[in-house]
Structure 1
Amino acid sequence: MPDVILSVFQIEGVWYLILAALMAGVVRGFAGFGTAMVYLPVAGQVLGPFEALTTLVIMDLTGPLIHVPRALKDGHPGDVARLGLGALISVPLGVWVLSLVEPEVFRYGVSLVAIILLVLLIGGVRYRGELTRPMIFGTGALGGFLGGSVGLPGPPVIMLYMASALPPKTIRANNTLYLSLFDAILIIVLAVRGFLRLSAVTLGLVLILPYTLGNWIGARIFRPEAERMYRFAAYLIIAVSALHGLPLWD
């Protein structure tokens, strides 16, 4: 096993991935979302699509656990369960679609979905109506499909909640719980479909440390009264990562 871990550090670009995991953790810690939008555009330049997804889900299964107790208190677990049920139905379809496309298409998909979300959020799109149960379920299903196909389960859910009138701590908590639930679903689907690789799992385990550290830093600096500052910082980091990850720069 030590030899397997040591081999991880021989991967070209591994330190780039470690830095991306750290930054993704910081954003997730203070914003409650953004892990995939920060990490995947970078990982897609170093790893194949399924390897990138595997490292993401392995590190993301453990890093945000420190936020779960607070999220259960601040969030709406019932709504999160509906989001998770929708994702459970659609994740296998997304993974199937990913298995059909080229790695370059995956990279474009990751960056473009992240950029579209930013444009909508920065543009001030808002939903003022009631968040109905069918709407929440459908949003979870759309997130599950995007998560399985381009590794970005968060955008639809983030868009729904951040465009609502819910308080920041509730939005952050619901996003945290939903993304943790999605990770558990995705790892099971990848295992069943035979897409898990030992090297990618090991790399994901190595990335847990910088990612968890980033989560801790992000949680420590989070202050609800400074919501606008945190949103701006998250948007900026995601934008840089998404634009840098576009294959046209290769």
Structure 2
Amino acid sequence: MPEILGELLAYEGLGWLISGVFLAGAVRGFTGFGAALVYMPIAGQFMPPVWALITLVLMEVVGPLPNIPAAIRTARLDEVRRLATGALIALPLGLLILFAIDPALFRYGVCIMTLTVPVLLACGIRLRRAIGPGLQYGTGTLSGFLGGVAGVPGPPVILLFMASERPAWVIRANVMLYLLVFDLATIALLTAQGRMEMMPVLLGAVLVLPNLLGNLAGAAMFRPERQRLYRSAGYGITLLSGLAGLPLWD
């Protein structure tokens, strides 16, 4: 055990990971989403794809917990249930692909998706139809697949809600609850498949505290009436993280 703790403290990029996790938590606490979009491009620079996913879901189960009770009161739980049902169908397939993917390809995929979401939303993409049950199930299925392959389940759900006329506080609550369900399901599947190795589990445990502090800081900054600021902050931080994580800069 002392040996692995020494390896943990000497882990390359640990300082960058802790800083990135705090920022990711602040974005999640402020907007209800975006932690994976901020964290995964950073994590992909320092660890294998499966490790990046393990650390993400472990810290993300704990970090948002102080904000969950309020989210339950605000969210539209029927929408969260449909999204989660779709995700659970496609998540196992996404994980199978993740286990075989090349790390460089993984990083490019994560960064491209990270950059695509804010660009589409900033260009004024808006949903012209009602968010019916079929669209919710389909979005959840796509989200579960992308979450398994690249550790970023958020983009389809973010696009769905932020392109709609939903108020910021409902979007924040819906996405926050959905992502918690996704994280719990991913941990269960990875555990059942014997993928929860000691080092990424310990890294995930170390990253819990900065993630939790970031979530608390972000939640303290959230003001429902400032919807333009809410959207702009999410776009800007996500773009910067996606650009910084590209393998081009190695």
Tell me which interval the TM-score lies in, with the shorter structure as reference length. over 0.9
Distance in 2 between the 1:188 and 1:112 partners? Answer: 28
Letter paired with 2:14:
V
Per the TM alignment, residue 158 of structure 1 is displaced from its structure 2 partner at its CA by 0.6
Distance in 2 between the 1:8 and 1:232 partners? Answer: 36
Partner of 2:20: 20
Per the TM alignment, residue 108 of structure 1 is displaced from its structure 2 partner at its CA by 0.4
Which moved further from structure 2: 18-27 or 227-236? 227-236
Partner of 1:148: 148
Partner of 2:138: 138
Distance in 1 between the 2:165 and 2:121 partners? Answer: 14
- 5+ long unaligned stretches in structure 2: none
Partner of 1:206: 206
CA RMSD of aligned residues (A): 1.2
Partner of 1:225: 225
Which moved further from structure 2: 240-249 or 17-26? 240-249
TM-score (norm 2): 0.97
Q: Is the 8 A contact 1:41 1:241 kept in 2?
A: yes
**Helix, strand or coil for the counterpart of 2:126?**
coil
Aligned-pair identity in percent equals 48
Partner of 1:10: 10
Aligned residues: 250
Instruction: Confirm whether residue 30 of structure 1 aligns to residue 30 of structure 2.
Output: yes
**Helix, strand or coil for the counterpart of 2:129?**
coil
Distance in 2 between the 1:64 and 1:3 partners? Answer: 31
Distance in 1 between the 2:102 and 2:112 partners? Answer: 16
Distance in 1 between the 2:114 and 2:18 partners? Answer: 21
- 5+ long unaligned stretches in structure 1: none
Equivalent runs, 1:181-192 vs 2, <5 Å: 181-192=181-192
Letter paired with 2:13:
G
**Helix, strand or coil for the counterpart of 1:224?**
coil
Distance in 2 between the 1:197 and 1:48 partners? Answer: 12
**Helix, strand or coil for the counterpart of 1:25?**
helix
Per the TM alignment, residue 101 of structure 1 is displaced from its structure 2 partner at its CA by 1.6
Distance in 2 between the 1:2 and 1:106 partners? Answer: 32
Letter paired with 1:205:
A
